[in-house]
Structures are given as C-alpha cells and as structure tokens.
Amino acid sequence: MDVFKAIQDRREITKFESKPIPEVILDKVVDAGLFAPTGNNLPSKNMIVVEDRDMLNKLAETTPYMKWLKEAQAGIVVTGKPDVSKYWLQDASFACAFIWLEAVEVGLGSAFGAVYHSEDVEESKKREGYVRELINLPKEQRVVAVLGLGYPAMTPRPKKHVPREEVIFYEKFGKQSK
Ligand SMILES: Cc1cc2nc3c(=O)[nH]c(=O)nc-3n(C[C@H](O)[C@H](O)[C@H](O)COP(=O)(O)O)c2cc1C
C-alpha cells in the first residue's frame, strides 16, 4: 500500500474483532511510532504496549471517550518527556499518527484516545495520573494518548472532508487559487 492510500483509507475504528494481532504485526505497528521524527532528534517519547485484557479494561476508564479499549486487542500508551525536549507533544503526536497509518497498512483498525488536555490542567492531571499509576510511568513523563488496535469490526460511513478551498491557501492566507 502506498502512503497516500493509507492516509486516504485511514479512519477511526472503534469496534474490533476478537481475533488476536500476530506479534510480528503488532511489532511493526509500534515500530512506526519508534521511527517517527522528533524535534532535534531527541529521545522524547515512550510507547507502552498493553495486551493484557484486565489492563486494557482498566485503561478504558481513563476518560469517557475510550470505551473501545474494552474490545481492542492491544493498546499503545504514547508518552512524552518534557525534561528531554520542548517538542515532546509534537513528537508524541507524530508517533501516534505514524502508528495509525501503519495500522491501516497491515489491515488493522485504530482508535485514538486523547489523555493530555492542554487547556484543563486539573483534568489532565487526573487522566494522566490514572494511567501513570496503572503502567508505573515515571512522574516526569506526560501521557499524550492511548491508541486502541484490533481487526476492524465496522466500516465507518464515508467522511465529508472540510472543503479544500477552506483549508488550503496559496502564497497568502485566504488566496484560494495559485
Ligand atoms: C487530537 C485528537 C483527539 C482525539 N480524541 C479522541 C478521543 O478521546 N476518543 C475517541 O474516540 N476519538 C478521538 N479522536 C478521534 C477523532 O474523533 C476522529 O479521528 C475524528 O472524528 C475523525 O474521524 P476519522 O478518524 O474517522 O477520520 C481524536 C482525534 C484527534 C486527532
């Protein structure tokens, strides 16, 4: 599959089959996050792969918006290290995107559960603290997201994209043609 096709086909999948993910496939998906770029090439992230059913069920309670982890075959907690890089959030976000795309390539579906909350410090502390406790995450690290993975048991309805001319401009903001 070429990269653009993976980008076009990618959707959020929140229902999964009970079929396990072969280890070699899961490793490849996680490696996509490992190979994602980081600002100044600094080692500013970790990815914690969770396959234990009980643990996935507990992680599903991190926020009200990741119940799909209860059906997922695996979860990847993506963390950032502010003490290593000022770009920790971007770095972790890139890793999430690469993981999501690689999941598409290998026929898996993925859902994204936001944990870090940039505008509500207390809420972020609560969510991150919950995950931190479960996975023994060092206190300096931030929890950016938990991705759920599994073979898709749903086909999302076609997506209506924001019109191209509202998003893409040429040379100056607002100029819609070249
Ligand atoms: C920054 C960000 C935060 C998101 N947070 C959640 C979340 O907490 N729970 C969830 O189920 N989906 C979450 N999503 C997935 C989006 O809702 C989903 O990608 C969006 O509706 C577009 O659908 P698509 O992925 O099928 O194109 C998040 C996506 C992004 C990029």
Does the beta carbon of 156 lie inside 6 Å of ligand 1? Answer: yes
Question: 50 C-alpha to center of ligand 1: Å?
Answer: 20
Residues with Cβ within 8 Å of 111's Cβ and at least 6 positions away in sequence, in order, are 12, 13, 14, 66, 68, 69, 72, 147, 148
What is this structure's pTM?
0.97
What's the rounded mean pLDDT across residues 35-48? 98
What's the rounded mean pLDDT across residues 6-29? 98
**pLDDT tens, position by position, 75-131:** 999 999 999 999 999 999 999 999 999 999 999 999 999 999 999 999 999 999 999
Question: How would residue 166 be classed by pLDDT, with cut points 50, 70 and 90?
Answer: very high
* Beta-carbon-side half-sphere exposure of residue 103 (alpha carbons within 13 Å): 30
pLDDT at 1: 81
Whole-angstrom distance, CA of residue 111 vs CA of residue 96: 10
Does the beta carbon of 113 lie inside 6 Å of ligand 1? Answer: yes
Question: 115 C-alpha to center of ligand 1: Å?
Answer: 12
Q: Are 19 and 73 in contact (CB under 8 A)?
A: yes
Residue 28: strand, helix, or coil? helix
CA 131 → CA 14, 45, 87, distances in Å? 20, 15, 21
Query: Of ligand 1's atoms, which has the minimum distance to the CA of residue 14?
Result: 11
pLDDT at 105: 97
What's the rounded mean pLDDT across residues 144-167? 97
Query: Of ligand 1's atoms, which has the minimum distance to the CA of residue 65?
Result: 9
Mean pLDDT estimate for the chain:
97
What's the rounded mean pLDDT across residues 48-72? 98
Please determine, for residue 153, whether its predicted confidence score (pLDDT) is greater than 90. yes
Please determine, for residue 172, whether its predicted confidence score (pLDDT) is greater than 90. yes
Does the beta carbon of 15 lie inside 6 Å of ligand 1? Answer: no
Does the beta carbon of 127 lie inside 6 Å of ligand 1? Answer: no
At 120, list the tokens: 């509500």
What DSSP element (H or E) covers 88? helix 88-105
